[in-house]
Amino acid sequence: MSGAVATELSGWGRTMPTVARLVDAHSETQISELIKDADSRGVLARGLGRSYGDAAQSGGATVIDMTTMTGFRLDADNMSVTADAGASIDEILRQIVPRGFFVPVSAGTRIITVGGAIAGDIHGKNHHRDGSFGAHVTELALIDGLGVMHNLTPKDPRFWATVGGMGLTGVIVSATFTVIPIQSSYITVDTERGKDLDAVMSSMLERDHEYRYTVAWIDSVSASGRGVITRGDHSTAQQCNDDKIKNPRSYDPKKIATAPGLVPKGALNKWTVQAFNEGWFRKHPSLRVGEQQKISAFFHPLDGVQEWNRIYGPQGFLQYQFQVPDSAGNLVEIALGKLREIGAPSFLTVLKRFGPGNQAPLSFPQSGWTLAADLPAGVPGLGRTLDQLDDLISAEGGRLYLAKDSRQSPTNFARTYPRLEEWREIRDTMDPNHVFASDLSRRLEI
Partner 1 sequence: MLDALGEPQSVLVFGGTSEIALATIKEMPRHRLRRVLLAGRPSESLDAAVAELRDLNITGVEAIEFDAKNTESHGAIIDGVFDRSDIDVVILAFGLLGDQMTAEEDPSHAVEVATVNYTGSVSAGLHVARRLKNQGHGALVVLSSVAGDRARRSNYVYGSTKAGLDAFAQGLDAALAGTGAHVLIVRPGFVRTRMTSHLPEAPMTTNPEDVAKIIVAALKKGKSTVYAPGPLRFVMAGLKTLPKSVFRKLPS
* Position 232 contacts partner 1 (CB under 8 A): no
Q: Which stretch binds partner 1 (CB under 8 A): 89-97, 333-341, 357-365, 437-445?
A: 437-445
**Site for partner 1 (CB under 8 A): which residue of 26, 99, 384, 433?**
384
Q: What are phi and psi of 340, to 5 degrees?
A: -70, -40
- Report d(CA 254, CA 322) in Å as an integer: 31
Paired strand residues for 374:
319
Q: Could you tell me the smallest distance in angstroms from the CB atom of residue 264 to partner 1?
A: 16
Q: Which residues contact 218 (CB under 8 A, 6 or more apart)?
A: 197, 200, 225, 226, 227, 336, 349, 350, 351, 371
Q: Would you tell me the crossing angle of helices 330-341 and 197-207 to the nearest 10 degrees?
A: 150
At position 425, the amino acid (one-letter code) is E
- Report d(CA 62, CA 6) in Å as an integer: 9
Q: Which stretch binds partner 1 (CB under 8 A): 12-20, 128-136, 148-156, 169-177?
A: 12-20
Q: Could you tell me the smallest distance in angstroms from the CB atom of residue 30 to partner 1?
A: 22
Q: Could you tell me the smallest distance in angstroms from the CB atom of residue 386 to partner 1?
A: 8
Question: In terms of CB distance, is 40 or 78 closer to partner 1?
Answer: 40
* Position 188 contacts partner 1 (CB under 8 A): no
Instruction: Report whether 191 contacts 211 (CB < 8 A).
Output: no
**For residue 181, what is the enclosing H or E element?**
strand 180-181
- Report d(CA 59, CA 442) in Å as an integer: 10
Instruction: Report whether 32 contacts 19 (CB < 8 A).
Output: no
Q: Which stretch binds partner 1 (CB under 8 A): 100-108, 169-177, 355-363, 376-384?
A: 376-384
Site string for partner 1, 17-46 (x = CB under 8 A): xxxx-------------------xx-----
Considering only residues 88 to 127 of the shown chain, the ones binding partner 1 according to CB under 8 A are: none
Degrees, nearest 5: CA angle 282-124-238: 75
Beta strands in 17-170 (DSSP E): 18-24, 43-46, 62-65, 72-75, 80-84, 101-102, 137-143, 149-152
**Site for partner 1 (CB under 8 A): which residue of 3, 383, 418, 432?**
383
Q: Could you tell me the smallest distance in angstroms from the CB atom of residue 150 to partner 1?
A: 29
**Site for partner 1 (CB under 8 A): which residue of 382, 403, 426, 430?**
382
Q: Could you tell me the smallest distance in angstroms from the CB atom of residue 14 to partner 1?
A: 9
Question: In terms of CB distance, is 301 or 380 closer to partner 1?
Answer: 380
* Position 415 contacts partner 1 (CB under 8 A): no
Closest Cα to residue 80, out of 172, 175, 158?
Answer: 175
Instruction: Report whether 336 contacts 397 (CB < 8 A).
Output: no
Instruction: Report whether 41 contacts 58 (CB < 8 A).
Output: yes
* Position 410 contacts partner 1 (CB under 8 A): yes
Instruction: Report whether 38 contacts 57 (CB < 8 A).
Output: no
* Position 266 contacts partner 1 (CB under 8 A): no
**Site for partner 1 (CB under 8 A): which residue of 88, 370, 406, 416?**
406
Closest Cα to residue 404, out of 320, 317, 312, 309?
Answer: 320
* Position 262 contacts partner 1 (CB under 8 A): no
**Site for partner 1 (CB under 8 A): which residue of 240, 335, 443, 446?**
443
Question: In terms of CB distance, is 288 or 384 closer to partner 1?
Answer: 384
- Report d(CA 279, CA 43) in Å as an integer: 46
- Number of chain residues interacting with partner 1 (CB under 8 A): 32
**Site for partner 1 (CB under 8 A): which residue of 43, 55, 228, 318?**
318
Question: In terms of CB distance, is 18 or 358 closer to partner 1?
Answer: 18
**Site for partner 1 (CB under 8 A): which residue of 42, 47, 53, 345?**
53
Q: What are phi and psi of 150, to 5 degrees?
A: -135, 140
**For residue 368, what is the enclosing H or E element?**
strand 368-376
**Site for partner 1 (CB under 8 A): which residue of 15, 32, 296, 363?**
15
Question: In terms of CB distance, is 17 or 325 closer to partner 1?
Answer: 17
Would you give the end-to-end CA distance of the chain in angstroms? 27
**Site for partner 1 (CB under 8 A): which residue of 316, 357, 361, 368?**
316
Question: In terms of CB distance, is 425 or 445 closer to partner 1?
Answer: 445
Q: Which stretch binds partner 1 (CB under 8 A): 91-99, 331-339, 407-415, 419-427?
A: 407-415
Length of the chain: 446
**Site for partner 1 (CB under 8 A): which residue of 50, 338, 407, 427?**
407
- Report d(CA 296, CA 209) in Å as an integer: 23
- Report d(CA 52, CA 288) in Å as an integer: 33
Q: Name the residues that contact partner 1, by CB under 8 A.
A: 6, 8, 13, 15-20, 40-41, 53-54, 58-61, 316, 318, 377, 382-384, 387, 406-407, 409-410, 439, 442-443, 445
